[in-house]
Amino acid sequence: RATLGVLGGGQLGRMFVHAAQRLGYFTAVLDPDAQSPAGLVSHHHIQTAYDDPAGLAQLAQLCQAITTEFENVPAQALQTLAQTRAVAPGAAVVGIAQNRIEEKAHFTACADISGVTCAPYTVIETPAQLQDVLANRADLLPGILKTARMGYDGKGQVRVKTVEELGAAWAELGGVACVLEKMLPLTAECSVLVARGWDGQVVSFAPQRNVHVDGILAVTHAYEGNMPPALATRSREAAVAIAQHLGYVGVLCVEFFVVDDGSAHGGLVVNEMAPRPHNSGHYTLDACDASQFDLQVHAMAGLPLPQPRQHSAAIMLNLLGEVWLDASGQRREPDWQAVLSLPGTHLHLYGKEHARIGRKMGHLTITGPDVDSVKTVARRAAGWLGLPGLNDI
Ligand code: ATP
Ligand code: MG
Ligand code: MG
């Protein structure tokens, strides 16, 4: 039996391992953490740093093909593995997605074929550039200063209203390479999952509408009518164009903003992309006949990519560490008996021991035959669990 490998041992790796195992593959996970969610369920767990040459050599030796689930995996590690093994996505595209400056340059370069642009922005890498922006780019305020690298879940971002705040924010972020983005009046956010094979075959899911609370995904709405049809079509076509322009292989998630631009449906703006399955696509496990992880396995292993079909309306609720913490910060188990007594509830827990505020511990997907019944159950479950985003369901 062939073995498929993954760099990174988080929950995305864990769900990848589950999908690979269902198809009869052995799996190998490289992650330094002995208790990593994916390492715990994999046949092989290479417990070492992502850039350890011996660990990478062992992974290459074990595996027929290798993927990544960890956004900030050193692109160099993928390059090393690619010398001897099929690696998807490749080091070059992962490198682009890891750097907001390169990412936005890519979005801009393919704006003609994707039909979408990013929010107005500028790059701040040096004190001289900062001075120039302070003097000349008041048009980008109020804005968000984002580190070019390593940010996720809203970390590495500061919202700034004035030039004074901008100067202070750049210092606060350590004077590293950043982008300053204009704050847009969002009416909604959505994301699109695309899978592309070695041969260029592309399939995609319909866009899901996402609600963020404090910069972290809280709720995903995935059903017919979750957004205006014209925007749904445009965002899906844009994501496919972006993947094709990159020559991408694997699963790619592209995030979009919907802004009020005075038009009937609003305008579409591309935000960022993740070179892997995405939290907003977890509903595909329970609501579609092929999940984002199934497609990741197919793409990297060179199997045909089935066009996925969604068979149920779905809402996904993210379960962060706070759900496990009582008022005094003690860990307690939520009332799963109650939650699982509701129809169409699918509980996914990632096997993480320590509950911390904002830590992704699991998710709950609610499926049903129609939107209304799914919303009714989702509201009840979210209320019982004390989840945010309830008003948006
Ligand atoms: P992720 O965990 O999705 O990788 P991230 O830390 O990379 O998140 P972004 O996606 O850039 O961060 O921003 C997080 C959230 O902040 C967005 O989903 C959106 O709600 C808000 N946001 C970011 N940029 C803007 C903007 N230019 N205008 C308005 N809101 C924004
Ligand atoms: Mg991001
Ligand atoms: Mg994001």
Taking only the tens place, the pLDDT of each residue in 196-252 is 999 999 999 999 999 999 889 999 999 999 999 999 999 999 999 999 999 999 999
What local confidence, expressed as pLDDT, does residue 232 receive? 96
Q: Check pocket membership of 321 for ligand 1, CB cut-off 6 A.
A: no
248 is in an annotated binding site: no
Taking only the tens place, the pLDDT of each residue in 14-42 is 999 999 999 999 999 999 999 999 999 99
Residue 265 has pLDDT above 90, yes or no: no
Q: What is the pTM of this model?
A: 0.96
152 is in an annotated binding site: yes
What local confidence, expressed as pLDDT, does residue 341 receive? 98
Architecture of domain 3-87: 3-Layer(aba) Sandwich (3.40)
Taking only the tens place, the pLDDT of each residue in 89-118 is 999 999 999 999 999 999 999 999 999 999
Quote the ligand 2 centre to 376 CA distance (angstroms).
31
What local confidence, expressed as pLDDT, does residue 196 receive? 98
Q: Which of 271, 276, 359 to mutate to test the pocket of ligand 1 (most atoms within 8 A of CB)?
A: 271
Q: Which of 72, 100, 272 to mutate to test the pocket of ligand 1 (most atoms within 8 A of CB)?
A: 272
161 is in an annotated binding site: no
Measured between alpha carbons, how far is 393 from 64 in angstroms, rounded to an integer?
Answer: 43
Measured between alpha carbons, how far is 52 from 50 in angstroms, rounded to an integer?
Answer: 6
Q: Check pocket membership of 228 for ligand 1, CB cut-off 6 A.
A: no
Q: Check pocket membership of 120 for ligand 1, CB cut-off 6 A.
A: no
Query: Which atom of ligand 1 is the closest one to the Cα of 152?
Result: 6
Query: Which atom of ligand 1 is the closest one to the Cα of 156?
Result: 6
Query: Which atom of ligand 1 is the closest one to the Cα of 255?
Result: 10
Residue 376 has pLDDT above 90, yes or no: yes
What local confidence, expressed as pLDDT, does residue 191 receive? 98
Correct CATH for 186-392 of 3.40.718.10, 3.30.470.20, 2.60.120.1030, 3.40.50.1970: 3.30.470.20
375 is in an annotated binding site: no
362 is in an annotated binding site: no
CB neighbours (10 Å) of residue 348? 18
What local confidence, expressed as pLDDT, does residue 336 receive? 97
Cis status of the peptide bond prior to 142, with omega within 30 of 0:
yes
What local confidence, expressed as pLDDT, does residue 100 receive? 97
Query: Which atom of ligand 1 is the closest one to the Cα of 155?
Result: 6
Residue 350 has pLDDT above 90, yes or no: yes
What local confidence, expressed as pLDDT, does residue 154 receive? 79
Taking only the tens place, the pLDDT of each residue in 151-199 is 887 789 999 999 999 999 999 999 999 999 999 999 999 999 999 999 9
CATH 3.30.1490.20 fits 120-182, yes or no: yes
Q: Is residue 245 packed enough to be buried (19+ CB in 10 Å), middle (13-18) or exposed (0-12)? A: middle
Measured between alpha carbons, how far is 198 from 7 in angstroms, rounded to an integer?
Answer: 19
Taking only the tens place, the pLDDT of each residue in 66-97 is 999 987 888 899 999 999 999 999 999 999 99
Strand partners of residue 160: 143
Measured between alpha carbons, how far is 193 from 203 in angstroms, rounded to an integer?
Answer: 9
Q: Check pocket membership of 31 for ligand 1, CB cut-off 6 A.
A: no
Q: Where are the alpha helices (DSSP H) in 319-385?
A: 336-339, 371-385
Rounded to the nearest 10°, the torsion over CA 378, 379, 382, 386 is: 180
Which range has the worst mean pLDDT, 178-182, 251-255, 315-319, 323-327?
A: 323-327
Residue 389 has pLDDT above 80, yes or no: no
Taking only the tens place, the pLDDT of each residue in 270-287 is 999 999 999 999 999 999
272 is in an annotated binding site: yes
Domains 3-87 and 186-392 fall in the same CATH topology: no
What local confidence, expressed as pLDDT, does residue 258 receive? 96
Q: Check pocket membership of 181 for ligand 1, CB cut-off 6 A.
A: yes
Of the candidates 154, 150, 144, the one whose C-alpha atom is nearest the C-alpha of residue 124 is 144
Measured between alpha carbons, how far is 272 from 256 in angstroms, rounded to an integer?
Answer: 7
Kindly report the average pLDDT of the chain as a whole number.
95
What local confidence, expressed as pLDDT, does residue 391 receive? 77
Strand partners of residue 118: none
The residue contributing the CA closest to ligand 1 atom 21 is: 215
Q: Where are the domains of the chain?
A: 3-87, 120-182, 186-392
